[in-house]
Amino acid sequence: MDRFGWVPSVGGNISVRLDAERIAITRSGGRKGFLTREGVMVVDLHGASLTEGGRPSAETGLHCQIYRAFPDVGAVLHGHSIAATVLSRVVEGDGIVLSGYEMIKAFAGQTTHEARVVVPLLDNDQDIDRLSGIVAGRLNGPVPGYVLRGHGVYAWGRDADQALMHLEALEFLLDCEFQARKIN
């Protein structure tokens, strides 16, 4: 994620499910490109710290929500790419429509580039509990991810490899839309 510029400065978060009740998540304020063991802590599925002296990311609740909604999810990634951040500020409505791209087939159930998928686009909110409630109603589509307006992308998968594959596909598709709008 760092190599692609998706976690600039102290932005973004990474989490993995440890078991049915616990997740490991990056601490607040750390640079993900220089992540060490000390930069990760353990929380329960409601975001309560299980690591002494630990302060998880302010957005831990959004990670926990995905783990609670999807018991088969093993990893959640959140990045702040330029394309997703800027595109989300110019797209109106509550979704970013993607169609005609071969990369759509990276998402389960999509077998043709002719598919039309909508990536949920939600307004950002500093009240994570309120935002989690809004996001909860939008997690049932074909894309294992969503975009927060002016903020960035959340993507998930059964393990870290699949979550990264979904994030890469989603970021690629969002960048394609961003570049197409620049041309037009």
Residue 46 is assigned to a ligand binding site:
no
Q: Token digits for 69?
A: 């909604």
For residue 151, say whether it is annotated as part of any ligand binding site: no
How many beta carbons lie within 10 A of that of residue 112, not counting itself?
A: 8
Question: Which residues, at least 6 apart from 43, have a Cβ–Cβ distance to it below 8 Å?
Answer: 22, 23, 25, 49, 50, 51, 54, 56, 60, 64
Q: Give the whole-angstrom CA distance, residue 36 versus residue 31.
A: 10
- Taking the C-alpha atoms of residue 80 and residue 74, their distance in angstroms, rounded to an integer, is 21
Angle (CA) 90-141-60 rounded to 5° is 75
Please report, in range form, the residues annotated as the binding site. Answer: 78, 80
Q: Which residues are annotated as a binding site for Zn(2+)?
A: 78, 80
